[in-house]
Chains A and B, each alone.
Chain A
Amino acid sequence: MPQITEVIGISREIAWLPWAVTYFFLIGLSVGSFLLSLPHYLFGRPGWERAGRLALIGALACGMAAPVALLADLHQPGRFWRFYAHPNLNSWMAWGAFFIPTYLSGLFLYAWSSLRPAIAADAEDRGILAPLYRLFGGRALPWLSRAAATVAIIGACLVLLYTGMEVMVVRARPLWNTPFLPVQFALTAIGGAIGLALLLDRLLGGHEAATEARLNRALAMVLGASMLVGAAWFAIGFFGLEARHAQALASVAQHDSFRITAFEGQAALALAILLALWKPRGSGWLTGLIALHAAWMFRWTVFIGGQSVPKNAPGLYDYHLPLGPSGLLGIAGSMGLLVFLIILLDALMPPARARAAAPGEALPGRA
């Protein structure tokens, strides 16, 4: 094997900035949170009231914050209209411009239609906002809730599909070019959403130990599935069962930074699973944070780490997080917006309560 030393070469810098990580993180959390809200708001399952409310807050807040990061990544947010003026329907990214509004429209309509009776019931306690609550509140419209939920579910699946496929189809980066990627994006998104609900359960008033335990059990299952997918990807590459996966693993396995990240990620997931199963009541702070951390770090490693692997040069490109809008400030700003939206939604959204059955509707467990 010849020995090669690169004498003259250049770095191609990161082209998908931390904005992209932030967008994929937030939209994933939104979709995962929306799915987590369905047991209460769509199916009326008893015991899911608080989890449903927390998840809906997470879905709405992340759903509103995510497109901001996406637009920021275009360097000039006004460029977004070109996605609709000149769509190239061969591109997954172009489809995303249609899937995101579909999902968000369905989500907002689903939230509003599901909360209508609770908003109306809350009007008297809202002081000067009472007229607004009376305007948006009203009797339950189960047909509208079901229709909106259907649109949102389809939109959510399409968002998960396009965000995964958009990255998976890039053959130029073997690390991305794997069918495991969309699956892992989806699993870490759902895990992160459960983690967010666990965290909100502690941060927002009215902590419920039973909700925490329920969420922890769900989290253990999702993170377990995520570990299995990761292990399958590693095994296919390690044993050389498929050339592209072997190439992808070889491109990163030799670098300490990737090895440490992989070990740290797997150890964190294992710890979260053990904690969630061993102490489902009381560990929500930690398991929630670890799940969110896993969702963020997976995307960070895929996008920023993946782009630091040169396509045509040995070694790794250096990446130092800038402190400005393209780096730390952008991430902090997005997370600040998310916190603000969560606080706002928590203040405005009616408290969790058992969903009243609409006329002619039987709720599971209450027949």
Chain B
Amino acid sequence: MGSGRRSLFAGLAASLSGTAAAAEPPVPSRAIGPRWGMVVDLARCIGCQACTVSCIMENDVPPDSVRTIVNTYEVVKDGVPGMAMLPRLCNHCNEPPCIPVCPVGATFQRDDGIVVVNADVCVGCAYCVQACPYDARFINHETQKADKCTFCAHRVDAGLLPACVESCVGGARIFGDLNDPNSTVRRRLASEESAVLKPELGTEPRVFYLGLDDVLAHKPEGTPTLWRPQHQEGI
């Protein structure tokens, strides 16, 4: 069953001919300590949103906001329709554009590469929200401060996996140390072709996708979904 499902999605991914330009696997750093990153195997993602929900529950994300979501698209190529899933989250970039714009230095990158927000300092100016090309940030309506995926840093620090990884039904999200040559993320990146979102911006994302179609690596153009949940301010 498992192998059948894998082959089904692998076939579907392959049917969407033309994968995104391959990303260079990161060079292991000689720095002591981990550099956390994620590999998303799109052939294994079924778009169940278990990651979306578990992230909300784990991180107390307020209603009508998400730190991660699986965008789902119908892609028709040469008359052949197919479904494509694209889990989106903070890319914990090596060159994060959100950090230099923060006027008070509230957002910063930890030594292990995780980009976080110091809520005690954040002024809620939303400059980082504008600067992130991946729309991974938002203003939390309860704290009125910038909010984003932290790779579940509190869990990682305790030796646990991020909630989205642990809850992923198909095992599509793989989390690990990019500095460790024996980690699964490094082995998958070494053996398979991977891609990142919007590589032309030079942000050097540390979330890699396996089997990413090129048309989804950038802003997809087409028909928008009919309904998008959106926060509405009360009068």
Interface residues of A (CB under 8 A from B): 2-13, 15-16, 73-76, 79-80, 82-83, 85-88, 90-94, 96-97, 166, 169-173, 251, 307, 310-318, 320, 322-324, 326-327
Contact = CB atoms under 8 A, between A and B. Distances in A.
Contacts, number: 181
Given A5-B74, A73-B125, A314-B223, 12 more contacts: A3-B75, A3-B76, A4-B74, A11-B229, A15-B130, A92-B101, A93-B125, A94-B104, A170-B130, A172-B130, A313-B71, A316-B224
A6 B138 CA distance: 21
B88 to A, nearest CB: 7
Given A8-B47, A15-B138, A3 B222 contact: yes
B105 A5 contact: no
A11 B72 CA distance: 14
Contacts of B127: 91, 93, 166
21 contacts: A4-B76, A4-B221, A5-B76, A5-B225, A6-B225, A7-B83, A8-B49, A11-B229, A12-B129, A16-B130, A80-B123, A82-B121, A82-B123, A83-B103, A88-B103, A90-B100, A97-B103, A172-B97, A311-B133, A314-B224, A324-B234
B133 A10 contact: no
Contacts of A96: 103
A312 B125 CA distance: 22
Contacts of B123: 74, 79-80, 82-83
Contacts of B66: 10
Contacts of B219: 251, 310-314
Interface of B: 16, 47, 49, 66, 69-77, 83, 88, 97, 100-106, 121, 123-127, 129-135, 138-139, 144, 197, 201, 213, 215-216, 219-225, 228-235
B186 to A, nearest CB: 27
A91 B77 CA distance: 43
A5 B83 CA distance: 10
A6 B233 contact: no
Contacts of B133: 171-172, 311
Given A310-B135, A317-B228, A6 B223 contact: yes
Contacts of B220: 4, 6, 312-314
A310 B83 CA distance: 21
A251 B225 CA distance: 17
Nearest to A326: B233
B223 A4 contact: yes
A7 B74 contact: yes
A257 to B, nearest CB: 14
A91 B101 contact: yes
